[in-house]
Amino acid sequence: MRLQLATDGYLQDVPYPPQFHREMMPAWLDAVTRGLGEAGPNLSQPFRWCELGCGAGLNALVTAAVHPLAEVVAIDADATQITRLQRDAETIGLGNLQAIHADFVSIAEEHVGKPFDVIVMHGVLSWISPAARQAVLRFIARRLRPGGLVYAHYMTHPGLSAAAAAQRLVRQAATQVADSSIEGAQSGLALLSQMEKAGAGLFVAAPQERQRLAAARGQSPASLAHELLPTHWEPFHVSDMIEAFQAVGCRYIGSATPIDNIDAVSLPAAIHSLMSQARGAAMAETMRDIARNQSYRRDLYRMGGKPLSSPAHLSALAAQVIAALPGAPNGGGLTFQTPIGPVEGEAALFGPLLKALANSPQNLASLVQATAVPMHPALLNQATQMLIWAQLAHPVLTNPPPVKDIAALNCLLAAYDAKYFVVPALGTALPSSNAESSL
């Protein structure tokens, strides 16, 4: 072996490229948990938000900037990334962001500090060692407050079951011929491409692997290396993950991807009646993953607690304010591109909502009256969750920070070529192609 690619699942010679994930932002988590009938983070009060495996820390920077009362903690084992994040936070003037250089095993043994309201991790659980995963769970058990929220992204079966063999080959080829992780990933991918062109049975039996290979060719070299080369690359069965979180007191409440919480638009119609056979969340989510051939999950877990009562759920939904995003139509029907193909959003339902949102941000109580016949709150809930998922609408913060406090962060994002632009009123960053014309 010419190249030592990773230590405990992390690449050593190439930093994880800067990325922003809307699903980890507090405003997004608040909107989705409301939709699920759960209590999310109270954004009107000080709260504590922690990211494990933060990389360059773009989500931490945006969270700290748009929530000046929050305490933001970002943790990563890459000392270079943490040093840069500390410098960036100081440059922007974010006194509420703490960047910590540590591995998961060491932080799991710490009992100091106030508990967190939210713990998030993206691109972590499926790429680290079993020991590190157990450390993450211990950290959550010790540092998440009762009722607190966890966002956990990972690879899953069956969507990535067939990809396991291809990943192993790429990694084996990389360790034999490469002197850098980037060179190794490219070399391994080239070999896999040659096998595909030569008619390898994997690509015949699993046609989706042709599409995955084509998509991999379009990835940045650094992203490709981090995706394919870690020693402990592993998709999980959702039932195993649900049981692992249950063991530390966290119950599964749904997905941070709103469409995955709506069976009517994410499962084939013939599957709907079969879902009644599911006994418990683990079995139900396994059935959903099989029905969708799911590859990645964005699970949400709560530390104990109970779902909101029906009156409390209706009250939480009624208070939610959303705004139309640039590019959203001001009426008519919609076509949603979903895991089961195009789904038509009827003009009678979505047209009045889009028209009302085109005029001004609306709370969901006012949107109930937007149609000629006031719609049922459950239907409105699903419709607005669909609009948020489709990037046609977004939750609005009640007390956004002054715009001047965001200018330096947007300059930093531009320097990173992150292709995102922070919108203070929304409490998030939007793709730069349309964010500047937003609220």
CATH value at residue 119? 3.40.50.150
Q: Is 423 contained in some domain? A: no
Weakest mean pLDDT among 74-88, 126-140, 408-422: 408-422
| pLDDT of 138 higher than 80 | yes
Identify the domain boundary among 228, 261, 276: 228
Q: Is 424 contained in some domain? A: no
Pairing of strands 362-363, 321-324: antiparallel
Residue indicated by tokens 């638009």: 265
| pLDDT of 3 higher than 90 | no
* Contact by Cβ (8 Å): 171, 142: no
| pLDDT of 45 higher than 50 | yes
Closest C-alpha among 115, 107, 149, 156 to residue 132: 107
On average, the pLDDT of the chain sits at 91
Judged by DSSP in three states, 271 sits in: helix
ω before 158 within 30° of 0 (cis)? yes
Residues 55 and 197 reside in one and the same domain = no
| pLDDT of 439 higher than 70 | no
Q: Can you give the pLDDT at residue 340?
A: 85
Q: Can you give the pLDDT at residue 9?
A: 62
Closest C-alpha among 401, 392, 399 to residue 438: 392
Q: Can you give the pLDDT at residue 374?
A: 78
Neighbours of 204 (CB within 10 A): 11
| pLDDT of 163 higher than 60 | yes
Number of separate domains in the chain: 3
**pLDDT tens-digit series, residues 198-250:** 999 999 999 999 999 999 998 888 999 999 999 899 999 999 999 999 999 99
Average pLDDT in the 52-64 region? Answer: 96
Average pLDDT in the 275-286 region? Answer: 96
* Contact by Cβ (8 Å): 297, 126: no
Q: pLDDT grade, residue 405 (50/70/90)?
A: confident
Q: pLDDT grade, residue 7 (50/70/90)?
A: low
Q: Can you give the pLDDT at residue 180?
A: 86
Q: Is 416 contained in some domain? A: no
Question: What is the C-alpha separation between 397 and 258, in angstroms, rounded?
Answer: 19
Share of the chain above pLDDT 70, in %: 95
Judged by DSSP in three states, 13 sits in: coil
CB neighbours of 196 closer than 8 A, spacing ≥ 6? 203, 209, 210, 213
Q: Is 180 contained in some domain? A: yes
Q: Is 342 contained in some domain? A: yes
Residues 188 and 333 reside in one and the same domain = no
Partnered with residue 362 across adjacent β-strands are: 322
Residues 25 and 144 reside in one and the same domain = yes
Residues 140 and 260 reside in one and the same domain = yes
| pLDDT of 420 higher than 60 | yes
* Contact by Cβ (8 Å): 322, 393: yes
**pLDDT tens-digit series, residues 305-342:** 999 999 999 999 999 999 999 999 999 999 999 888 89
Residues 148 and 124 reside in one and the same domain = yes
Q: Can you give the pLDDT at residue 41?
A: 86
Q: Can you give the pLDDT at residue 1?
A: 46
Residues 271 and 290 reside in one and the same domain = yes
- The boundaries of the domain holding residue 358 are 311-395
Residues 130 and 56 reside in one and the same domain = yes
Average pLDDT in the 102-124 region? Answer: 89
Partnered with residue 100 across adjacent β-strands are: 75
Q: Can you give the pLDDT at residue 2?
A: 56
Residues 272 and 386 reside in one and the same domain = no
DSSP state of 372: S
Q: Is 329 contained in some domain? A: yes
Q: pLDDT grade, residue 438 (50/70/90)?
A: very low
Q: Can you give the pLDDT at residue 38?
A: 97
Residues 62 and 188 reside in one and the same domain = no
Residues 254 and 296 reside in one and the same domain = yes
Question: What is the C-alpha separation between 44 and 109, in angstroms, rounded?
Answer: 31
Chain CA centroid to CA 334, Å: 24
Identify the domain boundary among 269, 303, 337: 303
Closest C-alpha among 139, 30, 59 to residue 429: 59
* Contact by Cβ (8 Å): 183, 230: no
Q: Measured on CA atoms in the order 324, 295, 118, 225, is the torsion positive or negative? A: negative
Q: Can you give the pLDDT at residue 437?
A: 44
Q: pLDDT grade, residue 111 (50/70/90)?
A: low
Is residue 66 within a helix (H) or strand (E), and if so which, with residue range? helix 58-66
Q: pLDDT grade, residue 12 (50/70/90)?
A: confident
- Higher-pLDDT residue of 140 and 374 is 140
Question: What is the C-alpha separation between 34 and 385, in angstroms, rounded?
Answer: 10
Residues 290 and 319 reside in one and the same domain = no
Q: pLDDT grade, residue 6 (50/70/90)?
A: low
CB neighbours of 312 closer than 8 A, spacing ≥ 6? none
Partnered with residue 120 across adjacent β-strands are: 51, 151
Partnered with residue 6 across adjacent β-strands are: 11
**pLDDT tens-digit series, residues 363-401:** 998 998 887 777 888 999 999 999 999 999 999 998 887
Q: pLDDT grade, residue 13 (50/70/90)?
A: confident
Question: What is the C-alpha separation between 172 and 179, in angstroms, rounded?
Answer: 13
**pLDDT tens-digit series, residues 66-102:** 999 999 999 999 999 999 999 999 999 999 999 999 9
User: Of the spans 89-93, 105-109, 224-228, 251-255, which averages the highest pLDDT?
Assistant: 251-255
Q: Is 53 contained in some domain? A: yes
Residues 19 and 56 reside in one and the same domain = yes
Identify the domain boundary among 211, 228, 245: 228
Q: Is 413 contained in some domain? A: no
Question: What is the C-alpha separation between 380 and 431, in angstroms, rounded?
Answer: 26
